[in-house]
Amino acid sequence: MGKKVKVIFKTKSILHFNKDAQKKLKLTALVPDIRKSLVELLNLPISELKGHQAFKTDQKKLAFWAADCAEHVLPYFEEKYPEDDRPRKAIEECRTWATTGVFKMAVIRKASLDSHAAAREVGEDNAARYAARAAGHAVATAHVPSHSIGAAAYAIKAAAAHSNNLDDGIVKERNWQLQRLRKYA
């Protein structure tokens, strides 16, 4: 099988659960740990992800993985907003690019911005908003590989918001993401 990767969250504040737990689950606390997992599983120098550079084959792997992460939490959006298909279309565009390699910036940008617009329109529905943001970042991976990290981080936030339990985001969702990433490693 693949390598075992420990998930260690350095920022203790994200592990402290109370009524303001969602506010404490900061993307800046999640990103370094997600980046470290990508580096270890894909055998990339960390500078490649920090500098928005990745080999084309790895960028496509990241896009497939980002699409998987976003799609895993997409039901949190679609259950409440079934008529709004913008996040679903963003994930589909991501997979289309990763499969065909055909890159049209206007198409990728529109899909990403549309998904982020859907996120803004749901207001305070955090799980739905974060799921739509995950989709917007997933498709943006076609342009910049490190957007895959945003897709994963927002998926973690969506899972935690959906269940009101940080462990569901930090532990369960993150472990699911690592399993999916191993599929592409």
pLDDT of the chain, 185 residues: tens digit per residue? 344 433 433 333 333 333 344 445 566 667 777 777 776 776 665 554 444 554 445 889 999 999 999 999 999 999 999 999 999 999 999 999 999 999 899 999 999 999 999 999 998 889 999 999 999 999 999 998 889 989 999 999 999 899 887 777 778 998 999 999 889 88
Q: What is the spatial distance between Cα 180 and Cα 18, in angstroms, rounded to a whole number?
A: 30
pLDDT of residue 127: 94
pLDDT of residue 43: 67
| DSSP H or E segment with residue 71 | helix 56-73
The domains of the chain are located at 27-42+53-184
Radius of gyration of the chain (CA): 15
Taking the mean position of all CA atoms in its chain, how far away is CA 127? Answer: 13
Q: Which long-range contacts (CB under 8 A, 24 or more apart) does 53-58 make?
A: 53/145, 54/145, 58/145
pLDDT of residue 98: 94
Which of these, 146, 164, 149, 171, lies nearest to 49 by C-alpha position? Answer: 146
Whether the model clears a pTM of 0.75, i.e. scores above it, the answer is yes
